[in-house]
Amino acid sequence: MAPVTGPDQGRAALLSAFACYTLWGVMPLLFMGQAAAGFDSLEILAHRALWAVAVAGLLVWLAKQGGQVRAVLTSPKTLAWLAFSTVLIGLNWGIYVWATTHGATLEASLGYYINPLLNMVVGLWLFREKIDRWGWIAIGLAAVGVLFQTLALGRPPWISLVLAFSFATYGVIRKRVPIDAQAGLLVECLLLVPFGLAWVLWLQHTGAGVAFDNPTNTLWALANGPATVLPLALFAWSARRLPLSTIGFIQFLAPTLQFIVGVWAGEALTPLRVLSFVFIWVGAGVFAAAAYFRVRAARQALKRAAEPA
């Protein structure tokens, strides 16, 4: 993934990446706001699936990727892979919404610190990618952080681990499916819509739903659409125009903001838990720095190779 050549487009890509990870980082505030308005986590998840379709469909139409969607819907094998990825992203969304509305945002943020480090292990296992010494150090530090988090919580950090593993597996599946991010998300949302719609209708039928009780709640429900789709669209656009080293640094903005939101919300932050995050932060820093220096070394090697003898 080569960096952009134009300075204006480069700045736009950088701003897009920061906007993407900032939106992902403050998303717990959206779910906390809905919980305060009376939504439970399943109702939030149902509306997230329901209203994301409209926004994803609009982006696919603007990007003229309708042909990709039609091709997937007529290809049983590709559709089966996307059905699998839909289960994974539905699990990821559900756990994340539940965590952020039940005082476990700190544990959720840990999962997204672990995720890029877990991706290295998955790359080694499935794609025979190499992990250098610094990569193993980063993974080791993260493992120690998870151990301290286990001691601090009195149990394994299941929310962190499920979020990290589900998103890493989701990434592997999507890497193998020949479809762009927005078009793939639209297909996933289409697969989730029947469940979301059925749950919303059931809630309204039983009187348990709150989304249409008043205009404010309806706006909360509708906000799930752009909040789900726009960060992914910003990520897809910026990731094609920025070097991996830059993305490697910026991606830790999201869990850092999630951590800040969790602390702001008054979640327990014991000394042992702080220690666990220190190990995670150092591991994340080692990962990001190593990615930067690898890309810089590769650029220098290319530059030397291009110089006349």
188-219 tens-digit pLDDT: 999 999 999 999 999 999 999 999 999 999 99
Q: Is there a domain that residue 1 lies in?
A: no
pLDDT tens for each residue of 93-121: 999 999 999 999 999 999 998 888 887 78
Q: Is there a domain that residue 17 lies in?
A: yes
Please state the domain count of the chain: 1
Average pLDDT score, the chain: 87
Q: Is there a domain that residue 38 lies in?
A: yes
First to last CA, the chain: 28
Beta carbons of 118 and 164 less than 8 angstroms apart: yes
Q: Is there a domain that residue 231 lies in?
A: yes
Q: How far is CA 252 from CA 10, 67, 69, 152, 219, in A?
A: 20, 34, 31, 23, 30
Highest mean pLDDT among 172-186, 254-268, 293-307: 254-268
pLDDT tens for each residue of 131-167: 788 888 888 898 898 999 999 889 999 999 999 999 8
Q: Is there a domain that residue 118 lies in?
A: yes
Q: Is there a domain that residue 117 lies in?
A: yes
Q: Is there a domain that residue 2 lies in?
A: no
Q: Is there a domain that residue 119 lies in?
A: yes
Residues with Cβ within 8 Å of residue 67, at least 6 apart in sequence:
none
Domain extent, residue 236, equals: 7-306
Gap between the Cα atoms of 150 and 181, Å rounded: 35
Gap between the Cα atoms of 147 and 309, Å rounded: 53
